Structure 1
Amino acid sequence: MRFRNIVVLMMAVLALASCSALKKNSGKPDSDNASATIIGKKWQLIEIGGKAVSGQVNGRVPFLKLEEKSYSANGGCNGIGGELTFSTNGKIKFAQGMSTMMACPDMSIEQALSKALITADNYSLSNGILSLNKTKMAPLAKFKLMEEKQNLSGTWELDYISGPRIAFEGLYPNRKPTITFNIQDGKINGNSSCNNYNATFKTNDHQISFGPIMSTKMACEGNGEATFFSTLEKINTYDINENTLTFIMGDIAMMRFQRK
């Protein structure tokens, strides 16, 4: 009888432990391990402030990309980026970061996305939809996973460069710089707006580095060529969105090219 009572007691303890475990795991969305699921992928913005977002804004696909400690985004105009912190229970914090300073016809989506990122304090992932939320209120923004085609091959033409005080058109009044990637040989060549040049390059995921740049020696007017070469040497990351190639230094978008 004594042994039977001990067995019954042990079974009761195990049952209570199982119920406790079930309670701990019940009611949680499939975003418990979402940080590993959502990192390193590009998410297309499909809803902001409860309103649907079109597939393209100013000719670009609005998106958000999350890394372990940083993020990058585009609301259809400027590149946005900054530090990112993940915490337990789906908590997330976007720090105000750097942005390019272009003006576009429709800035409303970009402004709304920037505000949503800074406001959000948690995220959830359900049925393939990533939501950024503030406490338990309605989602601030929703995203769907988009396939990235990170294909550097081909020729790209510069249409934005960060840093110089001279306007882009003044820096390159006659010819825009180009860059052509030969993926198989690991080489680039192009024109700086004045001289032809070539160099080697290496990539690792989204990281990129360039070898010494060699160019022809024709005399050039202005600072366009020098600005192009000096900026290219600082680049350590790249991103491709549709037909737009962005070169990044840290979390700052430094150069932008369009596929030719």
Structure 2
Amino acid sequence: MKKILSFLSLMLGVILVSSCATKKADSGSSEDTLFKNKWQFVEVANVAINKEVNGTVPYLSFDKTDKRFSAITGCNTVNGNFSATNSKAEFGLGMSTMMFCEDMSVENGFKQILEQVKTYKIIGNELVLMGSNDKVLAKFNKYNN
């Protein structure tokens, strides 16, 4: 009886350890999550962003292979160089289409914070871009289009 209880305890321990290891392996890194998703604008420079701007959902995406970002601001497309290592992030110079729209607040706010971004963090479905002293510059939610 003692051998059976020992064996069952050992098997239970193995099952628990392997299930934890599998869950951790499936979760992926923060960097993987950053690049595999589109991110809908929620807030830029402490200003809440409407779900649609000029009839378009503004979002941000990243291309890991080409080391670039692209943002649909609800008016124009803004894109440029981007690098991320661990929790550090850097937006480089880029370009933008030049249409005029009724509401350009998202675009103007986003362009204003780009050079200030130093780090990022992902908490659940939220991406937060931060500047010096962990000052929150922008917030995004995973975009499911």
Give TM class, smaller chain.
Answer: 0.7 to 0.9
SS in 2 for 1:97: strand
Contiguous gaps of at least 5 residues in structure 1: 1-31, 149-260
% identical equivalent positions: 34
Contiguous gaps of at least 5 residues in structure 2: 1-27
1:43 to 2:43 alignment: no
CA–CA distance in 2 between the matches of 1:76 and 1:118?
Answer: 21
**Equivalent residue, structure 1, for 2:83:** 85
TM-score, normalised to structure 1, is 0.43
**Equivalent residue, structure 2, for 1:109:** 106
**Equivalent residue, structure 1, for 2:24:** none
**Aligned partner of 1:77: which letter?**
C
Alignment length (residue pairs): 116
Sort the Cα spacing of 1:127 and 1:40 in 2 relative to 1 into closer, same or farther, 3 A. Answer: closer
Kept after mapping to 1: 8 A contact 2:31/2:85 = no
CA–CA distance in 2 between the matches of 1:113 and 1:106?
Answer: 13
Equivalent positions of 1:148-187 (< 5 A) are 148=145
Question: Given the alignment, which residue of 4, 29, 33 partners 1:33?
Answer: 29
TM superposition shift of 1:136: 2.5
SS in 2 for 1:60: coil
TM superposition shift of 1:119: 1.6
Which structure would you say has the larger Rg? Answer: 1
CA–CA distance in 2 between the matches of 1:83 and 1:49?
Answer: 21
The alignment's C-alpha RMSD in Å is: 1.5
TM-score, normalised to structure 2, is 0.74
Question: Given the alignment, which residue of 54, 57, 60 partners 1:58?
Answer: 54
**Equivalent residue, structure 2, for 1:122:** 119
TM superposition shift of 1:115: 1.8
CA–CA distance in 1 between the matches of 2:56 and 2:113?
Answer: 19
